[in-house]
Amino acid sequence: MDKLVIEGNTRLSGEVTISGSKNSVLPILAATLLTDEPCIIKGLPELRDTNTMLKILRSLGKNAELNKGIVKVTSTKHPNFIADYKLVSTMRASFCVLGPLLAKFKKAKVSLPGGCVIGIRPVDLHLKGIRALGASISIESGYVVAKATRLKGSPMYLGGVYGSSVLATDNVMMAAALAQGRTIIESAACEPEVEDLARFLIKMGAKIKGHGTPIIEIEGVKHLHGAEHTIIPDRIETGTFMIASLITKGDILIKNALYQHLGAVIDKLQEAGAYINRFDTSIRVRFKRRLKPINVTTLPYPGFPTDLQAQMMSLMCITSGISVITEKIYPDRFMHVAELNRMGAHIQREGPHAIVEGVKYLSGAPVMASDLRASACLVLAGLVAKGKTNVSRIYHLERGYENLEVKMQKLGAKVWREKE
């Protein structure tokens, strides 16, 4: 098992190119189950999660040939409607195969999902939406078993305790694409990744309107065909490098980045002291003045993304003054607090709030990644800490960042891999 070693106190500068979106590519790969015809997906990030989803597709009767970020998905003569526990349990997003399998085969058996330890993330909205389409659902030995003689379009409300659900919206949208009649999803997730999936489904022949808004309409069709699609840039990776530039008082030009997907992040970074230039497909982030403390509340899109909460906390750790970070998506997503405090941060948790008192410097220390975004947070903290930081369990990092240490090295970071 590898760890990352980071020698801190280095200013980052230069250019970096963002990979395709992890949160977009996973449901799009699942959507290829809706057709027997070939699909070509471009801009595929080479991640642990991506490889897991390709393994799941192969276990479900697909061929998936990956070559330099392009995957061609074709069908075999041995389709399968059972998504095995050994694969699904490692990655929550794999649960989005439920909708396509049910729509295609009228039955599906999918293991309840796993993923990062960031608090309870139930699948109740997924099941509510699938039931609304006319499916019967039972839980048997850790699997969701769904059956339907025929799926029928239906109006439904998919709002949850903490807002809309991206994966539930994805799952229902894919199932509804082959249902009979019209489906209207109220309180649908508005994230760019949902829009990207909808665009791919439309290329396949689906009839979808309203994607990117809280109300999505799907008119079911009898058949979907193959299609070619390029994945959007990863806005969370983009945001991570934006914070990396500011935390190191650097100057980074971030290429293959869409600023329109990051309005709330840009607003908060400018408030904290960043100078940001926006271009069509790139963003330049520079340190402009003394960092200022800010208050951040995570919210569904277009609010500040929960997937950048931990990284923003690293920045606030070295910002003089008091900052308050409120987590309204996953209130228990604070596993990184204890590790940052090991590095000399002053953070106190009060329920869904983290109160951050900025310190003059952080100190390098051995720390342990608990989840994907927490691992990125600890890397950022290591970049500015005095001395060496050892980040263990970086397999979490590999789930969502393509060659992060290589990209950091090209910007001047002193970071490398070692065996544990």
CA distance 272 to 266: 10
User: With b meaning 16 or more CB within 10 Å and e meaning fewer, what string describes 232-246?
Assistant: bbbbbbbbbbbbbbb
HSE value, Cβ hemisphere, 13 Å, CA-based, for 399: 21
Q: Please state the rounded mean pLDDT for residues 77-97.
A: 90
Asked if residue 54 and residue 187 are part of one domain, the reply reads yes
Name residue 293's beta-bridge partners.
none
How far apart CA 183 and CA 169 sit, in angstroms, is 12
Q: What is the pLDDT of residue 162?
A: 83
Domain end marker among 211, 230, 249: 230
pLDDT range class, residue 119, cuts 50, 70, 90? very low
- 259 and 226 within one domain: no
39 catalytically annotated: no
Closest Cα partner for 162 from 125, 115, 213?
125
User: pLDDT tens digit string along 181-227?
Assistant: 999 999 999 999 999 999 999 999 999 999 999 999 999 999 999 99
Residues above pLDDT 90, as percent of the chain: 90
**Does one domain contain both 250 and 189?**
no
For residue 291, give the 3-state DSSP assignment.
Answer: coil
- Hey, which residues does 230 pair with through a beta bridge? 42
Q: What is the pLDDT of residue 114?
A: 59
Same domain, 266 and 377: yes
Same domain, 194 and 341: no
Task: Give the number of other CB atoms < 10 A from CB of residue 196.
Answer: 23
> Do 317 and 168 belong to one domain?
no
Burial class (CB in 10 A: 0-12, 13-18, 19+), 153: buried
Overall average pLDDT of the 322-339 stretch: 95
Which pLDDT score, from 0 to 100, does residue 117 have?
46
Cis ω for the linkage preceding 293 (within 30 of 0):
no
Residues 332, 260 share a domain:
yes
Number of structural domains found in the chain: 2
Cβ count near 420 (within 10 Å): 9
Domain termination residue (choose one: 215, 230, 245): 230
Which of 203, 230, 257 is the last residue before a domain boundary?
230
Alpha helices in 248-400 (DSSP H): 263-272, 309-317, 336-342, 372-384, 395-398
Q: Residue 219: is it exposed, middle or buried by C-beta count within 10 angstroms (0-12/13-18/19+)? A: middle
Mean pLDDT for 391-418 is 96
The structure's pTM equals 0.96
Residues in CB range of 264: below 8 A, 6 or more apart: 299, 302, 303, 304, 305
323 and 336 inside one domain: yes
Looking up residue 328, the CATH number of its domain turns out to be 3.65.10.10
Q: Residues 39, 116, 190, 377: which is the catalytic one?
A: 116
**Longest alpha-carbon distance in the chain:** 64
Distances (CA, A) of 168 to 122, 127, 148: 10, 8, 18
SS3 270: helix
> What pLDDT score does 177 carry?
98
DSSP bridge partners of 223: none
- For residue 161, what pLDDT band results from cuts at 50, 70 and 90? confident
CA 202 to chain centre: 22
User: Are 181 and 275 members of one domain?
Assistant: no
- State the Cα torsion 324-329-330-334 to the nearest 10°: -20
**Is residue 217 located within the same domain as residue 256?**
no
Who's near 2: CB < 8 A, 6+ residues apart? Answer: 394, 395, 417, 418, 419, 420
Tell me which residue range forms the domain holding 328. Answer: 2-16+234-419
- Over the stretch 24-73, which tens digit does the pLDDT of each residue have? 999 999 999 999 999 999 999 999 999 999 999 999 999 999 999 999 99
Is there a contact between 74 and 62 (Cβ–Cβ < 8 Å)? Answer: yes
Same domain membership, residue 310 and residue 210: no
Instruction: Please check whether residues 293 and 369 belong to one and the same domain.
Output: yes
* CA pair distance 327, 140, nearest whole angstrom: 33
Q: Average pLDDT, stretch 303-322?
A: 98
